[in-house]
């Protein structure tokens, strides 16, 4: 089995208003992997056989060749039973609001690419990046979602770790901030903050942190039990199991 090829190219120019970058993945690995939500949406083009997606309701279906995956609120499991060859655009958390007036309706939803109004065809990564910039140009908003962007930056930097601090920094009530956040990203500020805490804790455990109670406290959880609940929802496993070597390396993220 050949080693996976994974290349990421940061977005530049106008495309950077909507996307963090474009990436290409090629792998002959087989098996299942879990994809944890992180507040980002991605536009995916499969150049080979798409994987099988196992849904929370117990059903399974093969993914289409081209789609946008809306913001995830829980772990997603896919099974690769053939070679993988994927081109993708990784969008900023606030970008989904450029494609639909109701981003919350796209939560945990695979949206066929024609429904988004985007038309893309496979090529080299450089060609795909150029094509993405042209295809997404008309979706770039005239004014940035400043309040939401600032809130996300504060959360991810660790400077704003509670809803109260986020609302105070934005000079909004928590309810108004939540509404504005959901209208822009499809997620509430409260849920996004949970995702930030989860990834902070997960990264610490993967880096070798030993005491889970300390990890929970440093990530901003009230206690270890709260952290464990988030791991079950967002990773499909407990914090202790994160330390196990993966049978199938995560490829998407």
Split at pLDDT 50, 70, 90, the class of 86 is very high
Structure token digits, residue 187: 């997620």
Does residue 21 sit within a domain?
yes
| Overall number of domains in the chain | 2
CATH classification of the domain holding 186? 1.10.10.60
Does residue 13 sit within a domain?
yes
Residues 104 and 173 in one domain: no
Whether the CB-CB separation of 66 and 118 falls below 8 Å is answered with: no
- The whole-number pLDDT of residue 248 equals 41
CATH classification of the domain holding 82? 2.60.120.10
Block residue for tokens 């822009």? 184
Q: Which of 18-22, 92-96, 122-126, 156-160 has the lowest mean pLDDT?
A: 156-160
Does residue 226 sit within a domain?
yes
Residues 83 and 163 in one domain: no
Domain around 223: 146-243
Q: What is the mean predicted confidence (pLDDT) over 94-102?
A: 92
Does residue 117 sit within a domain?
yes
Split at pLDDT 50, 70, 90, the class of 53 is very high
Q: What are phi and psi of 42, to 5 degrees?
A: -140, 140
Residues 21 and 52 in one domain: yes
- The whole-number pLDDT of residue 247 equals 42
Residues 133 and 157 in one domain: no
Whether the CB-CB separation of 109 and 71 falls below 8 Å is answered with: no
Residues 157 and 127 in one domain: no
Does residue 74 sit within a domain?
yes
Residues 13 and 63 in one domain: yes
* Region of 108 on the Ramachandran plot (φ > 0 left; ψ -120 to 50 alpha; else beta): left
Residue 71 CA to residue 160 CA, distance in Å, equals: 22
- For residue 247, with 0-12 CB atoms within 10 Å meaning exposed, 13-18 middle and 19 or more buried, which class applies? exposed
Residues 83 and 207 in one domain: no
Residues 130 and 198 in one domain: no
Of 123, 139, 155, the position where a domain reaches its end is 139
Residues 66 and 42 in one domain: yes
Does residue 250 sit within a domain?
no
- The whole-number pLDDT of residue 253 equals 45
Of 139, 158, 192, the position where a domain reaches its end is 139
Block residue for tokens 């929970």? 216
Beta-sheet strand order (sheet of 42-46): 5-10, 19-27, 84-91, 42-46, 66-69, 110-112
pTM of the predicted model, to two decimals? 0.89
Residues 133 and 190 in one domain: no
Of 139, 157, 182, the position where a domain reaches its end is 139
Residues 19 and 133 in one domain: yes
145: pLDDT strictly greater than 80: no
Residues 40 and 76 in one domain: yes
- The whole-number pLDDT of residue 252 equals 45
């Amino acid at each position: 089995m050949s080693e996976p090829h994974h290349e990421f190219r940061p977005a530049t120019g106008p495309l950077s208003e909507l996307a963090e970058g474009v990436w290409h993945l090629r792998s002959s690995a087989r098996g299942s992997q879990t994809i944890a939500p992180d507040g980002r949406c991605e536009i995916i083009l499969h150049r080979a056989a798409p994987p099988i997606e196992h849904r929370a309701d117990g059903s399974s279906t093969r993914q289409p060749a081209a789609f946008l995956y809306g913001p995830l609120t829980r772990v997603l499991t896919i099974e690769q039973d053939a070679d993988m060859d994927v081109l993708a655009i990784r969008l900023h958390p606030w970008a989904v609001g450029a494609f639909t007036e109701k981003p919350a309706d796209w939560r945990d939803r695979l949206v066929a690419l024609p429904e988004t109004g985007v038309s893309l065809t496979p090529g080299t990564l450089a060609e795909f990046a150029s094509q993405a910039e042209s295809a997404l140009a008309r979706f770039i908003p005239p004014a940035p979602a400043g309040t939401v962007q600032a809130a996300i930056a504060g959360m991810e930097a660790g400077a704003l770790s509670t809803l109260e601090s986020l609302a105070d920094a934005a000079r909004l009530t928590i309810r108004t901030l939540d509404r504005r956040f959901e209208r822009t990203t499809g997620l509430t500020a409260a849920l996004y903050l949970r995702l930030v805490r989860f990834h902070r804790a997960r990264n610490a455990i993967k880096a070798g942190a030993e005491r889970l109670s300390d990890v929970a406290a440093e990530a901003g959880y009230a206690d270890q039990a709260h952290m464990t609940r988030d791991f079950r929802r967002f990773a499909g496993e407990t914090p202790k199991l994160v330390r196990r070597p993966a049978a199938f390396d995560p490829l998407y993220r």
